[in-house]
């Protein structure tokens, strides 16, 4: 009996190790997927949260083997962990029924060599509304593969979304692409997401006016959409709720009966057609190789109306139509090229939509923008467009920012969705933001609100400043980014002398001037800066000490700051005194 008991005691830990290893193997063999953590949605790759610190290639930058081989090593030097790569229908299927995945294989191979993940962008039936990436054999046969029409009867180089032949041809090749990705990448997980079509939408008019489209437009609104709107009436996007409400929340009738007679009704109708089309491709992808799927939208900006921008794309105000028509799509993502960055991203971080930015105008401000969306909106990823055109010099702003963000990934992934992070984003119009944690206020400002740098007052255009604040515990914070300054004040604390009244040494900036007297002290305690350490983040999320910042670097204990043009991670400890 003793021998048998000893044997069991020895074998049970071994079995547990085998089972544990099997569980780990299963987790690592699972394709990338999305999961919820608190209020955040996270991309999971090989069992771990993964933040896309990326960039999107220019439209033609993955159309040759030589370009891919030249560009991908540069992306590694720039600090990316992910590259968004076009997959071109016309080059994959140059003749009908014959497929060539040379460029796909080269992109995956070069990504692996250079330590990158890949998101493929299906440039299929539509790219920026137009059908410019459809193969020539498709374009030439307009009877089999019909075009959309304007209201005046003009055909446009936009494939008709109401054509089964268009859908079948597009879906067939997209399915072959997904089969190929599954065959070459089901174990390595180099490919982490897929975009279906690109900036889908109708241009010139708000909707297609072909015979097939007109017949659908004059028919009753599908029951599936009406049921969805009724079921989700309390949580509809405010724009959609108002549009439907103006017609008395009708539940039966054609599109104009339900939504009114205007361009925006045309847009809703067209969005339903595009969403249902995309859903067919999404279902194909799910049945072959299930990866997170998203669609991207060209913005309805600059006062343009539907048809002046790509009407009916996956825009925020149309999210309910897209969620109903394409439930297999995980994310509606904005492509950002206009002013008002903070306002645009807020529109796409919704209760039913995580934030992913697959395209944004390439600029030296991209680094601070990336910090902001990860800190403020628990973003899945951030990707400047035509990233290969940027600098790979170590001192380049985006290179600096990406290096720090990659360090921060363990902390960001661990704290996303838990309500303890905020992003900061400043420019010449938005110079200040106040954050509140319990009875502590963080007065956050653009670095150039300190008048010590000549660029603050010489008429120069301020670079965007930004970063993130992570509360690790009471009186303990991570502050990271560039071009920011933060003061810490307890509730009721007043009477502090503004920085503009003091020189950089902390003394009065000029003598002999009457200073406005501060009101009597009413606070019960004050917040003091105990220590400020510049740190690095280790792979396990622990902090590594670099240097202590004090004296001039904290304005003699008055604030925490990171100068414009520099990216740092600071560990701040506070204390209270009376």
Q: Is residue 222 part of a domain?
A: no
- Whether residues 468 and 339 share a domain: the answer is no
Q: Is residue 127 part of a domain?
A: yes
- Whether residues 58 and 144 share a domain: the answer is yes
Tell me what the mean pLDDT of segment 251-259 comes to.
97
pLDDT band (50, 70, 90) for residue 455: confident
For 349, phi then psi, to 5°, come to -95, 90
- Whether residues 378 and 450 share a domain: the answer is no
Q: What's residue 524's pLDDT?
A: 79
**In this structure, what is the dihedral angle of CA atoms 34, 36, 42, 44, given to the nearest 10 degrees?**
-50
Q: Is residue 217 part of a domain?
A: no
* Least reliable range by pLDDT among 10-14, 27-31, 471-475: 10-14
* pLDDT surpasses 50 at 26: no
Contact criterion met (CB below 8 Å) for 491 and 485? no
Q: Is residue 28 part of a domain?
A: no
Which 8-state DSSP code applies to residue 456?
Answer: G
- Whether residues 403 and 324 share a domain: the answer is yes
This prediction has a pTM of 0.92
Q: What's residue 393's pLDDT?
A: 98
- Whether residues 342 and 426 share a domain: the answer is no
- Whether residues 434 and 407 share a domain: the answer is no
367-413, pLDDT tens digit by residue? 999 999 999 999 999 999 999 999 999 999 999 999 999 999 999 99
Q: Is residue 479 part of a domain?
A: yes
Give the domain-ending residue among 416, 435, 464. Answer: 416
C-alpha angle 27/29/33, rounded to 5°?
70
Output the DSSP codes for 470-506: EEEETTEEEEEEESEEEEEEETT---PPPGGGB-TTS
Tell me what the mean pLDDT of segment 488-510 comes to.
66
For 523, phi then psi, to 5°, come to -75, 155
Q: Is residue 31 part of a domain?
A: no
Give the domain-ending residue among 368, 400, 416. Answer: 416
- Whether residues 49 and 134 share a domain: the answer is yes
- Whether residues 429 and 350 share a domain: the answer is no
3-state helix, strand, coil in the chain (%, to 5): 35, 25, 35
Which 8-state DSSP code applies to residue 330?
Answer: -
Which residues, at least 6 apart from 447, have a Cβ–Cβ distance to it below 8 Å? 453, 465, 482, 483, 484, 485, 561, 562, 563, 564
CATH number at residue 492: 2.60.220.20
Instruction: Show the domain range for 540.
Output: 422-509+519-577
Q: What's residue 18's pLDDT?
A: 38
Q: Is residue 530 part of a domain?
A: yes
* pLDDT surpasses 60 at 10: no
* Least reliable range by pLDDT among 188-192, 193-197, 487-491: 487-491
- Report the candidate in 479, 487, 486, 484 with the shortest Cα–Cα distance to residue 404: 479
What total number of domains does the chain contain? 2
Q: What's residue 13's pLDDT?
A: 45
* pLDDT surpasses 80 at 497: no
- Whether residues 412 and 426 share a domain: the answer is no
Instruction: For CA atoms 180, 186, 190, 193, give the dihedral sign.
Output: positive
- Whether residues 451 and 386 share a domain: the answer is no
Q: Is residue 405 part of a domain?
A: yes
- Whether residues 379 and 436 share a domain: the answer is no
* Least reliable range by pLDDT among 152-166, 243-257, 418-432, 454-468: 454-468
Q: What's residue 494's pLDDT?
A: 62
Give the domain-ending residue among 364, 382, 416. Answer: 416
- Whether residues 358 and 457 share a domain: the answer is no
CATH number at residue 92: 3.20.20.80
3-state secondary structure 384-412: CECHHHCCCCCCCHHHHHHHHHHHHHHHH
Residue labelled with tokens 């268009």: 166
How confident is the prediction for the chain on average, in pLDDT?
92
Q: What's residue 249's pLDDT?
A: 97
Q: What's residue 453's pLDDT?
A: 83
User: What are 429's two structure tokens?
Assistant: 């119009």
* pLDDT surpasses 60 at 262: yes
102-137, pLDDT tens digit by residue? 999 999 999 999 999 999 999 999 999 999 999 999
């Amino acid at each position: 009996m003793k021998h048998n008991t000893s044997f069991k005691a020895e074998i049970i830990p071994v079995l547990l190790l085998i089972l544990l290893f099997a569980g780990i193997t299963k987790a690592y063999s699972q394709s990338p997927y999305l999961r919820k953590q608190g209020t955040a949605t996270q991309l999971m790759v090989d069992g771990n949260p993964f933040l896309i610190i990326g960039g999107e290639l220019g439209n033609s930058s993955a159309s040759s083997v030589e370009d891919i081989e030249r560009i991908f090593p540069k992306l590694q030097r720039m600090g990316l962990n992910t590259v968004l790569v076009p997959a071109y229908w016309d080059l994959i299927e140059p003749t009908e029924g014959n497929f060539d995945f040379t460029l796909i294989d080269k992109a995956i191979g070069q990504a692996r060599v250079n330590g990158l993940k890949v998101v493929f962008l299906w440039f299929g039936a539509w790219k920026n509304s137009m059908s410019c990436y459809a193969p020539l054999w498709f374009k030439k046969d307009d009877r089999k593969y019909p075009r959309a029409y304007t209201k005046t009867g003009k055909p446009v180089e936009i494939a008709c979304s109401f054509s089964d032949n268009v859908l079948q041809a597009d879906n067939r090749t997209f399915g072959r692409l997904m089969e190929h990705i599954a065959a070459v990448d089901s174990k390595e997980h180099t490919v982490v997401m897929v975009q279906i079509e690109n900036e889908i939408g109708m241009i010139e008019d708000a909707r297609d006016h072909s015979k097939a489209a007109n017949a659908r437009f004059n028919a009753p609104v599908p029951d599936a959409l009406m049921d969805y709107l009724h079921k989700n009436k309390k949580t509809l996007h405010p724009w959609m709720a108002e549009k439907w409400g103006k017609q008395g929340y009708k539940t039966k009738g054609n599109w104009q009966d339900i939504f009114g007679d205007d361009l925006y009704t045309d847009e809703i109708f067209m969005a339903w057609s595009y969403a249902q089309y995309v859903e067919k491709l999404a279902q194909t992808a799910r049945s072959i190789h299930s990866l997170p799927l998203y669609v991207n939208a060209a913005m309805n900006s600059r006062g343009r109306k539907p048809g002046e921008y790509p009407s009916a794309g996956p825009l925020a105000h149309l999210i309910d139509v897209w969620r109903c028509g394409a439930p297999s799509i995980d994310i509606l993502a904005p492509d950002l090229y206009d002013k008002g960055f903070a306002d645009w991203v807020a529109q796409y971080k919704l209760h039913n939509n995580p934030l992913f930015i697959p395209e944004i105008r390439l600029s030296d401000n991209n680094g601070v923008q990336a910090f902001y969306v990860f800190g403020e909106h628990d973003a899945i990823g951030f990707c400047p467009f035509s990233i290969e055109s940027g600098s790979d010099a170590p001192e380049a702003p985006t290179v600096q920012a990406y290096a720090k963000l990659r360090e921060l990934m363990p902390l960001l992934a661990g704290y996303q969705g838990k309500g303890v992070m905020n992003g900061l984003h400043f420019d010449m119009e938005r110079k200040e933001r106040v954050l509140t944690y319990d009875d502590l206020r963080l007065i956050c400002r653009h670095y150039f609100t300190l008048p010590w740098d000549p660029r603050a007052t010489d008429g120069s255009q301020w670079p965007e400043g930004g970063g993130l604040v992570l509360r690790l515990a009471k009186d303990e914070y991570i502050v990271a980014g560039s071009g920011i300054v933060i003061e810490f004040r307890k509730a009721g604390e007043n009477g502090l002398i503004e920085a503009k009244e003091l020189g950089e040494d902390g003394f009065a900036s000029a003598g002999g001037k009457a200073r406005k007297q501060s009101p009597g002290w009413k606070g019960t305690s004050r917040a003091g800066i105990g220590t400020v350490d510049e740190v690095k983040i280790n792979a396990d999320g622990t902090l590594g000490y670099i240097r202590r910042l004090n004296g001039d670097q904290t304005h003699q204990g008055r604030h925490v700051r990171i100068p414009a043009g520099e990216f740092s991670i600071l560990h701040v400890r506070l204390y209270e005194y009376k």
